[in-house]
């Protein structure tokens, strides 16, 4: 890792815990569940990244493969073809870059293009080479809980803990330093509405890991049992983000950066 890249990584990690941090989402996919391809073109993606940086996000998370249910998997070559022009253009930003991928080769190449965090929605468990790739690249990593399918009969918090334990064992084996690891409970991924609520309300049960928690609930209708759809709106997302921060989350991953930055500033003032 280059010295200037390492400095961005360490500055970002050093801010965790000083205040709630905002990870701004940049999907460069043609089939994202939210933007529906708005930023698939490199120019549009770059412009959006610069906009959310100006709005105050602490890190830009770039994703080139849709994780929505039913999305068609893409090859490493196609994922990199979407990522590379954006990463090359954004390398001069002062703010750090994260790349959302579950492929070890993409993670390694993204780090070469300046990424300082790898955000893996399969928590190092889908690609057996991922933990070693992260360790070699010296990036930080977000370990997110995921499942192949929903199972409403399980205790979701216990399942998340088992998943994290496996992922953290992989990270330790690869010699990824603990101070570079962030956990994500995976809101909206193979969980029922009740399980998503349980994971959030029991967030404090993950404090014993001693690791920062990231919450990504932006525009997800995970409380769909209420039937009015408000959870997928900005108001619903802000409510979940503030509840998560109150419960101990350190980072929120969101589409609406300016609104979250403003809400979190007011929240911090009220909390003193």
Report, as residue numbers or ranges, the catalytic residues. Answer: 220, 253
Q: Give 231's DSSP letter.
A: G
**Residue in the block written with tokens 């991953």:** 253
CA quadruple 170, 176, 77, 70: dihedral sign = positive
Collapsed DSSP state (helix, strand, coil) of residue 68: coil
CA distance 225 to 194: 8
Distance CA 237, CA 221 (A): 9
Contacts within 8 Å (CB) and 24+ apart, 170-177: 170/124, 170/125, 170/131, 171/124, 171/131, 171/134, 171/141, 171/143, 173/131, 174/131, 174/132, 174/134, 174/135, 175/135, 176/131, 176/134, 176/135, 176/141
Residue 104, token pair as written in the block:
């070890």
Please give the biggest Cα pair distance in the chain: 50
Q: Identify which of 212, 134, 220, 228 has the alpha carbon closest to the alpha carbon of residue 172.
A: 134
């Amino acid at each position: 890792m280059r010295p200037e890249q390492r400095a961005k990584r360490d500055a970002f990690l050093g801010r965790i815990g000083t205040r709630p941090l905002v990870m701004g989402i940049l999907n460069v996919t043609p089939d994202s569940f939210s933007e529906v391809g708005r930023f698939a073109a490199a120019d549009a993606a770059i412009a959006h990244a610069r906009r959310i940086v100006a709005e105050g996000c602490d890190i830009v998370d770039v994703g080139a493969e849709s994780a929505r249910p039913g999305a068609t998997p893409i090859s490493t070559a196609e994922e990199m073809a979407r990522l590379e022009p954006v990463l090359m253009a954004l390398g001069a930003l002062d703010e750090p870059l994260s790349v959302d991928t579950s492929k070890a080769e993409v993670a390694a190449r993204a780090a070469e293009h300046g990424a300082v965090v790898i955000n893996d929605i399969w928590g190092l468990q889908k690609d057996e080479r991922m933990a070693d790739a992260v360790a070699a690249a010296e990036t930080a990593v977000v370990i997110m809980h995921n499942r192949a399918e929903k199972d409403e009969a399980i205790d979701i918090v216990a399942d998340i803990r088992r998943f994290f334990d496996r992922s953290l064992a992989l990270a330790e084996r690869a010699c990824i330093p603990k101070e570079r690891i962030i956990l994500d409970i995976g809101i909206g991924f193979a969980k029922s509405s009740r399980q998503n609520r349980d994971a959030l309300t029991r967030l404090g049960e993950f404090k014993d890991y001693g690791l920062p928690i990231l919450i990504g609930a932006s525009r997800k209708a995970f409380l769909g049992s209420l039937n009015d759809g408000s959870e997928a709106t900005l108001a619903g997302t802000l409510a979940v983000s503030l509840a998560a921060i109150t419960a101990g989350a350190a980072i929120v991953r969101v589409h609406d950066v300016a609104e979250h930055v403003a809400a979190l500033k007011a929240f911090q003032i009220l909390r003193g």
